[in-house]
Structure formats: C-alpha cells, structure tokens
Structure 1
C-alpha cells in the first residue's frame, strides 16, 4: 500500500516538523526525521521492493528475504554510474600527499580509530593508511576512510553510494570509491597475509563492508569499524569482525532497510539522541555528551554523535563492546611505523 504508507509517513514527518517550528521558531528537518525514525528501515524496504521488482503480490514477494534495498540499488547502479562518469569522468587518479588534516596518532583502540576518522574528515578526499609492526616481526594496518565528499572531482561522491549498495559484488568493486581505497592499500604496500582493519564513516563504512565481503580481494580484512553506514545486507564473512555505530534518529544507517545480523563477530551499537541527564538516578542508564553539539536539534549523522554512541556503550560496561575493542587492539598491538595519506580525484 505505497500511497497510504507514504501519506502516513509524510503526516508524521509534518507533525514532527511542526513541533520543531513551535519549539525552535524555525523549520528543522531533524524533527521530521526523528518523528519517523522508528519506521525508517521498513519504509526503505518497502520503497526498495517497488523499485527492485514491482511484484503483483509485494507482501509475499518480500517475505523470504530482507535485501530489497540492495536489489533496488543494483537496479539503479547502472544509471547512477553513468551519471557519475558523465559528471566526473571515468579516470581515477590516486596520489600520495601530505595530509591537510593534523597527523593521525596511533590507534590502539576503537575509540582511537573513531577519533582519527573524525580528524581525517577535515581533509579533501583523503584515505589514511597506517602501518604497525609488532615484536614478532609482523605488519598490520589500519585504513581510515571518510564519508561522502562534496567535491565535484571526488571518487567518494554521491553516485558511488548507489553502486556500493548494489547486491552484485562486481558492481560494488567497480565503484570509483572502492577502487580508490584498493589502490591506496596497494601503493602503501599491504601484503596478502597482513592483518588489516578498515574504519569508515557513512560511505567509508560501506566501502569497508564491500571490501570485506569480496572474496576475490588479496587482503586479509580482520576487522571493520563503521559509523552511520547501511551495511546490513553486505555478505561480510563471520571471520571478519564488524563493529557498527548507528543512531536511531538518522536516516542514512537505515538505508539498507534491515537490521544488522546478530552474531558474536558483528556488534551494533545503537544510539538514541536525548536531552536526558547522564543517569536515571540508579546509575544504570548512562549517556555520553555529544562534543560540539548545539542547543538546537541536529541531524545525528556526524562523527561526534557516532563517537558518543561508542562512549556510551563503554560507560555501560558492555561486555560485547569490550570484546570487540580487545579484538581490534590485538590487530594493532605493534608500534606505529608510518602514516601514509592518499588523495583520489576523478577526471575525463
């Protein structure tokens, strides 16, 4: 019932927006999205089902599987890729640069990795590759990947999001953003046996999941950390640990139309934005303050909200969060040897 569903969703969004106007004296889309947050995954799944297959009996069609969003992206990937190449060109250029952002320190914990991901967002279309060396003589690597970039020549553009969400692994790997990261990893000298952790925000997290899900790649992806990334339907193997941050009030992480798989090696930290105090009095439900947030309601897709969600999980003493943090720390147990930065550009 797409018409009725759309009408209901728009009505809820309108009521949320009206409340925002009454509270702040101006229109704020964050209230509209917040009022429909509980239905985002279902709405995306329903719309995607129509785009992907447009069946005569959509209820029956959707019952056996939940990857409608990726099917829809697969159907849209070809025109999105064509438009992207038309606007940006089809030639990818990757070069080693001196980063515009402050030099990234060593990341020996998930909190460190999220801090570096936040800092890297200040640079233009830049991927960071850090090499660690342990006492046993083994190298390990952390590859930090920012989200979608606003620059016209960036391989981390809007069109690449659609390709990366495709249910076809070959289509995902053809995306300029995935090729950009793979080339940066190759130029940095990552070897097939080296352990690699990928850390990404938004599109960067989708790239990380796409690389981990691709069985034909030469790299040993041991752990990925994603922040605000819709990756529920990416076939990441159980051997790769996944730590995902998702905020209920944002739309982006719900664009997969499904919840992440519940398994030991895949942990999803789900945060909810609130103005409540840090504790309910009994000390059981803690909340972490969001650095840099203002008094007005904001879209919680930014890294400051993702980092606060992880901090809350730590403050609550989550055993699962501690296990994932320990797994990441074991990968990068050696000393940081070098931090390399690569910029990607598209041209005709």
Structure 2
C-alpha cells in the first residue's frame, strides 16, 4: 500500500473524479453534436421540401428569401457549417458536393472533435502511460491539428484507413466514443465501408498438430481458457462436446477476443467489428458464430455453455441476450473473462452469468457503460444463497449477491496495457491471485466437467471486406513449429514504420564482427563498408505488435563475390540479389518475435524494452535496457525504391537467408539531424558493436525512412555455408 492509502496502480479519488468529469463532459458534448446533426438534417429537409418549393414559385419575393436564409443556415461557416448530414438528391446533392469542395466542415463534426479530445484527456488522466501506445499517438496527432477543420479531415482519413484502425484497436477506453464520433465525421455513412454491418461466415478448419497438444481433453474452466489462448491469434472459435458426470452430452462454445496488434484477415473479429459488437446483438461476429453452431449440428434444446475473453466474452454475453437463440438452445452458463457482465441480463433467467476482470485492465470499459452507471465495476457478487468466504481478504471488493450472477474485479499484479488484458495473464491470476474465482466458476460448470468427445474449430469470416493487406499480403502461407507455438510464414506486417540509419565504417572492423568463416565478407565502397542501424515499429503483424532495433553489415555474395555487386543489386529483383545484410545484433520487445527471429531466421535476438515513434519527421527511439537513444529530425527527402532486402543469420553451422519484401513510400534523407547516444552502462552485445564501429560518435551518412508500410518476411532458407 502507498502512504496515501491507495494500492499501487489504482487511481486516486481525485483522478477518478477528474476522469468521470471529463467523460461526462465528453458525453454531453457528443449529445450536443448529435443534436446539431439532427437540426442540420431537419433544416436540409425543410430547404428542399415540396411545400417550400411551391411557395417560392408562387411568391418569389418572400419564398426565395426564406430558402436563402435556410441555405445560409446550412452552408455558412457561421451556421451549421458544411454539407448537411442527410440523404441528398438533386440540388441538395450538388450543394453538398460544393461544401466538400470548399473544404467546409460541419459544426457537428467540429463539436465531435472536441468530445474526442475530452475523452482522450480522461483516458490519459487515468493511464498516463497509455500516451505511448501507437494507436493513441496516431489518434492524438489527428485531433491536435492546428485548426479544427484540419483535425476533422485528419480523423476522417484515419477512420477510413484500415491500417490505422488496426493501430486504433488497442484504444479500448475510447471504443464507446469512437462510433458516435465517427458517424458525426462521416458526410455519407452509407459510403464508408468501415460502417457496414458486414456479412458473417464460418468455415470449419483443422487444428495444427502443435495446437492439438494444447487443447484440453477434460472439461474445466482453465482448460476452456487455455483452448481460447491456443486460438487467440487465428480469428477462430472452438466448439466442443463434453460428456458430463451424469452421462449427458453438453456443448461448449469458446470465443477469443481481439488480440491487439494481430490482423484478422477477412474476419469480423477485427477493429471495425470490435467497434460494433458492444452496441448490438447483430454484429458480423455474432452472425458468424451462429453459422458455425448451425454447421456443428447442435440439437435443438441442448445444454450450451458460452465462454469468451474480451471481445469474445462480450459477444457471448450479447448472444445470451438473444431471445431467439435462447429459444433454440438452453444456455445454462455464460462466462466472460476480461469483460464484466454489467447490466446485461440473459434472455433465459436460468442462465448463470459470470464476469472476471482485472481492475488495471482498461479493456472492459468498451462495453459501453457510461460514467454514471449504477453498476459498481469493483463489486464481487456470488450466486444467491451462497456466501463468499474470501471476500474479507480483498479490501477492494465487496459482496452483493445477485441471482445467477457472479462477478469478480480484482487488483492483479500486472498493470501495463495490453499485457494486463492478455488471456495468459488472466489464466495465471486465476491460478495464483484469485483461485477462489476459479473454484467458484468450476463449481458452477460441474455439468461440463468430463471427457471431451468432439472438438471442431471454425474460422470466422466477413465477406464484406477483402483480406487485410490485399493484394500485397494475400500470399500462400505455411505453419512452422517453434517453442512459442506454431507460426505462419511468411510473417506479415500490416502496419509498420521504419528508419534505416546508414553509416560508412572501416571494412576491417566490420569484418572482425562477422562470424569467423571465410565466405562472409563485408561489401566495400572503396575502403569502407556499410553498417545499418534499422529501427522498426511494428504496430500490427501476425506475430503481434513489437519494436525492433537491428544492427547489420552489408555483405557480399557467399559463393562468388563480384566487384560493385552492391550497386548492381539495386537493379535486380529482390529475390535475385546476391548481396545481403548480416544481422550482428537484434533487440525486440516481444517474446514471440524473439523466438521467431532466433529459430526461423537464425538471428541473435534478445528481448528488451523500447519505445519507438517513427511516424513523423522526428525520429525517437529509446531503450533503457539497452542504454540506447536515437533521436533527431530528418530533413527533406526524395523518393527511393522499395526497401526490399535480404537478411542473413546463422543457425549452427549453416547460414540462413531471409527475403524481406516491403510496400510503402520510402524516402531518402540526409542523416545530419539524427544522433545515436549510448549510456555509459549500455548493454552488450549491441552497445559494444556500435562502439567498435564508431557509430556512437558519428552521424549517419543518410537515412531511409518510411512512416507506414506493409511487409512480409519469408521463412529462412538454410544455405550450406
């Protein structure tokens, strides 16, 4: 406990009051914007109403004056602003297009931006560390433009950019606000593909052999959660038959949520789907689940348990509220982890509902409850007629028995988002921090504690959207086993930024850092070699979001080195290039990325902490663990070819060649404004290599920067060298 009496990581009463005030103000401002939009629609309707048109023809002197006054009210910048937000035909459509050409923004949109600024301030008041999140950073850049009209245009472009939506998908506290704001920014919502409902679809798929090893063979609460964890990055759900202690076969649906930074291809389980799920029981995600259950062949009237995490838990809660669904099946239990039950009531009053949340997890805010809700998110309740013997040990939880309701909000040891929302953290907390919650849910799920007799996975799809990254990233993939689980290759990067700092270095020094084999020699530019410090911020990839810092040296062809190959390679296709970059050191911020780099690409990766901002003209990368800082401002640049490259690593006695293909708009900049700094206690081996090459005292010759691009990295090809 802290000296002020508050648990570490919990917000103080003052910060809670400030956050609540800001959120209430944001809600009031959105209501005002909605009112302005409604007035704009009614005024536009009146402007082109047949009675007014007829009156203007009969009495032009007064009728035209009235229409002119209405037109000024709709179009003038001191009135309702730009084009009215309504269905326009004929002259109304012409005037709406004229408003767009003039760059006018409606008053409703300008007010909506103010609401979003208040909501962002509320989130940062509660979680100041969230300012480092890539999604929050991009959103803040859009809403803090110099002028409100520019902010509206930036936000509109952001909402229409599916790559940006993936980065925004981690902004759970804003999900309740974003749909309303987005609607107010959209001049013609029916034309915005992110606002479409989407077409749900489901396809039965086989589980990989390595995945089958993690699928539970006995029914239990933690077993079902581990099943969800095994599926969490694939846009799939799992349906299982369980033979209970009484011999009756029952069915369990297990649904993962939205994993931050993981693409969902054409799945409804994406950012746009996450925005829709909290507010309707007819989302593409739920329609896809219904199609999967129909294909599975669950008999009518069968007992059914729904278990989900995050967005999946929210979808299961919404499904339990569907009267038609509950008339078809008997939903006996619905359990949500990382999403509270709140005020939702299942359609069948006999359904037992449970919600388990970490108080530091900001994702549960996405369920749409406002700050004035009477529901206390820190309450722990148990089924009617039972007492909670463990409640006295939790000073932040109180008992409030409700029929068929069990909710736990605990203060877990994991504070950082999105780590505190990850299912693996919840599983560990249910084992060690709140075992009484695990025992209570297991007891409730007693009818489902038995052998699993059938398992089938379904991939959920949304045919309304093309696959993510289409057409560049729609390519054949395969599964490669690793110690962190199966990994699909090529590894695809859907939203990334990069800056490559290029330094001329002494060729002899570069050669001394390479492995002691005769066929690895640095490519020479006269008497110098070329070292590259690559900085990456991967906001969305098939192995999750992470930052990457890599030091490499350009090397010749391993078999037949030729003079000037480095220049000739610029004219060759990437897959035919002879030269490549040998990775001397690699630091990444996620365990999965470290395992993939070591086991698939043969690169000497280490896990570290780092913060990267590479989306603008100012470069900023910091790693306290490495003792490294790269910052500065890049000057004017010129377009250059795509930064496709070949990377080399070592695995045992072999060399691993990896092809990296990119698609973006890279630019070549002078490197005079960028500086690398190392602390005196900077971590090895990266710091030692940087110092030996003299990069800690030099400025890069040039910088190749790309603030947003797509990429894919092939599985490493093992060469007999």
Q: Which TM bucket (shorter chain)?
A: 0.5 to 0.7
Go from structure 1 to structure 2 and tell me whether the alpha carbon gap of 1:241 and 1:51 turns closer, same or farther (over 3 Å shift).
farther
d(CA) in 1 for partners of 2:12, 2:267: 32
Go from structure 1 to structure 2 and tell me whether the alpha carbon gap of 1:52 and 1:161 turns closer, same or farther (over 3 Å shift).
farther
Q: Is 1:164 matched with 2:277? A: yes
d(CA) in 1 for partners of 2:231, 2:176: 32
So what's the TM-score if we normalise by structure 1?
0.66
Go from structure 1 to structure 2 and tell me whether the alpha carbon gap of 1:77 and 1:180 turns closer, same or farther (over 3 Å shift).
farther
Give the Å deviation of 1:183: 1.2
Aligned partner of 1:177 among 285, 291, 294: 285
Deviations 1:291-313 (A, max 9, x none): xx9xx886301012211332246
Give the Å deviation of 1:107: 4.5
| 1:202 aligned residue | 310
Larger-gyration structure (1/2) = 2
Deviations 1:309-333 (A, max 9, x none): 3224654xx3x65343212122x14
Go from structure 1 to structure 2 and tell me whether the alpha carbon gap of 1:191 and 1:47 turns closer, same or farther (over 3 Å shift).
farther
Q: Is 1:346 matched with 2:459? A: no
Aligned partner of 2:359 among 219, 240, 248: 248
Give the Å deviation of 1:202: 0.7
Root-mean-square deviation (CA), in Å?
A: 3.9
Deviations 1:241-277 (A, max 9, x none): 2222211112111334353574252222223233xxx
Check whether the contact 1:230–1:255 (CA below 8 A) recurs between aligned residues.
no
Residue ranges of structure 1 left out of the alignment (5+ in a row): 1-30, 57-68, 167-171, 275-289
Check whether the contact 2:278–2:366 (CA below 8 A) recurs between aligned residues.
no
| 1:50 aligned residue | 28
| 1:305 aligned residue | 425
Question: Could you say which structure has the higher strand fraction?
Answer: 2
| 2:251 aligned residue | 141
Structure 1, 81-90 or 183-192: larger mean CA deviation: 81-90
So what's the TM-score if we normalise by structure 2?
0.34
Q: How does 1:266-345 map to 2 (within 5 A)?
A: 266-274=405-413, 299-312=419-432, 315=435, 318=436, 322-330=439-447, 332-345=448-461
| 2:229 aligned residue | 118
| 1:191 aligned residue | 299
Question: Could you say which structure has the higher helix fraction?
Answer: 1
d(CA) in 2 for partners of 1:211, 1:327: 20
Go from structure 1 to structure 2 and tell me whether the alpha carbon gap of 1:140 and 1:114 turns closer, same or farther (over 3 Å shift).
same
Q: Is 1:106 matched with 2:106? A: no
Check whether the contact 2:218–2:451 (CA below 8 A) recurs between aligned residues.
no
Residue ranges of structure 2 left out of the alignment (5+ in a row): 1-7, 36-173, 370-374, 382-399, 465-721
Q: Secondary structure at the match of 1:326?
A: helix
Highest relative contact order (Cα 8 Å, sep 6+), 1 or 2?
Answer: 1
Segments of 4+ in structure 1 off by > 6 A?
Answer: 69-74, 76-81
d(CA) in 2 for partners of 1:95, 1:133: 25
Give the Å deviation of 1:213: 1.3
Give the Å deviation of 1:178: 0.5
